[in-house]
Chain A
Amino acid sequence: MTWDQGIHKSVTTLHATGVAREMTYLEAVRDALQYEMRRDPRVLVIGEDVGIYGGAFKLTQGLFEEFGGERVIDTPMSEACLIGAAVGMAFMGLRPVVEMQFADFISTGFDTIVQFAATNHYRWGSAVPIVIRAPSGGGLRGGPFHSQNPEAWFAHVPGLKVVAAATPADARGLLISAIRDPNPVIFFEYKFLYRSLRGPVPDGEDGLVPLGSAAIVRRGADLSIITYGAMVSEALAASDTLAAEDWNVEVLDLRTLKPLDTEAVLESVRRTGKALIVHEANLTGGIGGEVAALISQHAFESLDGPITRLAAPDTPVPYTPPLEDAYRPNRQKIAEAARALLKY
């Protein structure tokens, strides 16, 4: 299987006025890296095959040529050491951005993230400004070990920030903020979107997205779809379908899973009275449960229907197209779940 080309049959383009540049999601991530590396000599990219080869997805292509092997560092296969080494580099004033080849392999470095990096500032006061980029999610027929969405593992851990970028503009705006953040940030990017989503991307210092702020990507009054990552595009497509049926659906993109923008969630649900929470990760113990609990405790009086979660089933991510399609939430499933809730 090739990871870097020919996977997507169609490309979605987001349009906005007033922004000259248009790029794919992948190019936007690369642009953020390049921008920060040009701006700040402390920033390094470090990971497996990120250098001359340009990364498993060719995302870091060109960075090695521009910044050289001391700032775009190819490492041995050693996720745990990679993350620990990034912590040490950060202690010495560097700003390492670690690429996990696939988010799935982050489990190999789990200990180093949740025990060392996450706890350090609380334990003895030294900040750990590292970013771990984790290409996650399915839709590319990657099978059980190249398609996972492990964000909930990390959202549970005090001391980490967890980001999920849904558009090219946000991928850039959030990644720049993550690199400048003094804390360890797990940055989920969605490889399904890498080459299938194009959109306007601001330049320079424009378009920075602060961590911890959700965005209403479509305003509506009848129901809130609360989601993040690759499911934002699906929710938007579903909301178009529902609009044709005269339903006016709001789509809230969480953008950061920790810290969660609780105010934005509550404000939206208080207005619409109905909440459909969607994520690509499997259901049990997922982010959706947290959002549901938040709503039920603080916006109960506004509710006009059961808080509903749409997520993948509790199975590993299957490989074959019919099974993966049955596994992954998508626009049709979202529209269906929304209809049921709208009619409640």
Chain B
Amino acid sequence: MDPTPEVLRRAHYWMRFARAFDDRCITMYKQGKIAGGYFSQLGHEAISVGASLALGSADIIAPMHRDVGAYFVRGLTPRRVAAQYYGRAAGPSGGRDANMHGLGDLSIGIVGFVSHLPQSLPVAAGIAHAFKLKREPRVAMTFVGDGSASEGLAHETLNWAGVFQLPIVFIVENNQYAYSTPLARQTRVPDLARRADGYGIPGLIVDGNDFFAVFTAASEAVERARAGGGPTLIECKTMRMRGHAIHDNMAYVPPELIAEWQARDPIIRFEEQMRARGQLDEGALEEMIGQIETDIDDALAFADQAPYPDPATLRFGVYADSAGGGVA
């Protein structure tokens, strides 16, 4: 499925944006502006952006901690994401949830995730189940890592989605490591896509550093799901290019592996492919890079000045009908 020029423009912008934003956030983290842990998505740009661009505006996405590109594609503004990272009231969780969790906003089709992986999977399946019951031509998409795919819940959900033939797309982000644990310690099966056979659903493997491969596979899966063809599992092979979180120097990763994947950088690859297609406007690229810096400056300045939530609201929103109501 060939992406339209508009999709290519958005893909390029958000992949580069996600990367630049990540760099700046690491700096902000080191300056103490972001509390808690920070999980870099370096290397995952083609997956989060490529897969989410395959969705329509009425579809729903339930991402994880290395999918910030997907949030942007869905329309969660950099200002709100930055405000969340800074613990401000203007973030989707109003300072309640940790910086990378709870970035949910159902009005733009995003389910916020909990730390306990992969709890988003069954929720996305329930969403897809509701679409099917209500005969709405909508699709759910969710993400799971090579580590969290070892959890029992991943099995339960894939099985469930297969049994009910739900309109859902599972993106497995096989980035070789779960914290310090290599894939070989998660499973004897190097290709996680093979598990799809056990659930009677299609499973495919794509190069997760190739935007075109991810987008095409995801688009076909979304189309199949929308047409009543049930779920698909897409394994995107990639590599986590920084530590689990910023505190982790990943001494446990062989340097050759990093070098190998550095040579396959998804953004450089995308730009080469665009050049080869004669679709990269070098002048516009410069302009885009400038625009991204301006937009990130704006988001971080907004977050920096945004108020913290009032401690008087501490107890608000535990219940949907409690005093003070939900968060904004």
Contacts and interface: CB of A to CB of B under 8 A. Distances in A.
B104 interface: yes
Interface residues of B, number: 47
Nearest to B94: A125
Interface hub of B101, B114, B157 (most chain A Cβ within 10 A): B114
Contacts of A126: 104, 106, 112, 326
A124 B125 CA distance: 20
A315 to B, nearest CB: 28
B134 interface: yes
A183 B153 CA distance: 23
Contact of A91 (B111, B156, B157, B321): B111
Interface in A90-127: 90-94, 96, 111-112, 115-116, 119-127
Interface string B114-157: 11100101111111111101100000100000000000110011
Contacts of B157: 78, 81, 84
B105 interface: yes
Interface hub of A44, A119, A128, A183 (most chain B Cβ within 10 A): A119
A119 B127 contact: no
A93 B130 contact: yes
B96 A91 contact: no
A96 B123 CA distance: 13
A116 B163 contact: no
Contacts of A84: 119, 121-123, 125-126, 153, 157
B318 interface: yes
Contact of A112 (B96, B105, B119, B328): B119
Contacts of B106: 91, 126
Contacts of A80: 122, 152-153, 156
Contacts of A125: 92-94, 104, 317, 326-328
A85 B123 contact: yes
B122 A83 contact: yes
A123 B111 CA distance: 11
B153 to A, nearest CB: 5
A182 B321 contact: yes
Given A84-B157, A115-B114, A183-B320, A124 B92 contact: yes
B116 A111 contact: yes
A183 B317 contact: no
B127 A121 contact: no
Contacts of B317: 121-122, 125
A89 B320 contact: no
B126 A127 contact: no
Contacts of A119: 114
B102 A89 contact: no
B319 A124 contact: no
Interface string B157-183: 101100100000000000000000000
B311 to A, nearest CB: 15
Given A80-B152, A91-B111, A94-B133, A124 B160 contact: no
A75 B326 contact: no
Chain A: interface residue count, which band? 35 or more
A85 B106 CA distance: 16
Contacts of B133: 44, 70, 89, 94
Nearest to B316: A122
A180 B48 CA distance: 37
Contacts of A128: 320
B126 A87 contact: yes
Interface string B197-213: 00000000000000000
Contact of B123 (A78, A88, A93, A111): A88
Nearest to A77: B156
A183 B319 contact: yes
A222 to B, nearest CB: 37
Contact of B159 (A44, A76, A112): A76
A310 to B, nearest CB: 31
A158 interface: yes
B223 interface: no
B170 to A, nearest CB: 13
A47 interface: no
Contacts of A88: 111, 122-130, 140
Interface hub of A78, A122, A158 (most chain B Cβ within 10 A): A122
A94 B134 CA distance: 9
Contacts of B121: 81, 84
A94 B127 CA distance: 10
B101 to A, nearest CB: 7
Nearest to B92: A124
A134 B93 CA distance: 31
A181 interface: yes
A86 interface: yes
A215 B116 CA distance: 38
25 contacts: A76-B163, A81-B121, A81-B157, A81-B160, A84-B126, A87-B126, A88-B111, A88-B128, A88-B140, A89-B130, A89-B133, A91-B127, A92-B60, A111-B119, A116-B114, A116-B116, A124-B93, A124-B96, A124-B97, A125-B326, A125-B327, A125-B328, A126-B326, A183-B319, A183-B320
Given A89-B126, A121-B317, A158-B318, 20 more contacts: A44-B133, A76-B159, A78-B157, A81-B121, A81-B160, A82-B122, A84-B123, A88-B130, A88-B140, A89-B129, A94-B134, A115-B116, A121-B319, A122-B317, A123-B104, A124-B93, A124-B97, A124-B112, A125-B317, A127-B320
Interface of A: 44, 70, 75-76, 78, 80-94, 96, 111-112, 115-116, 119-129, 158-159, 161, 181-183
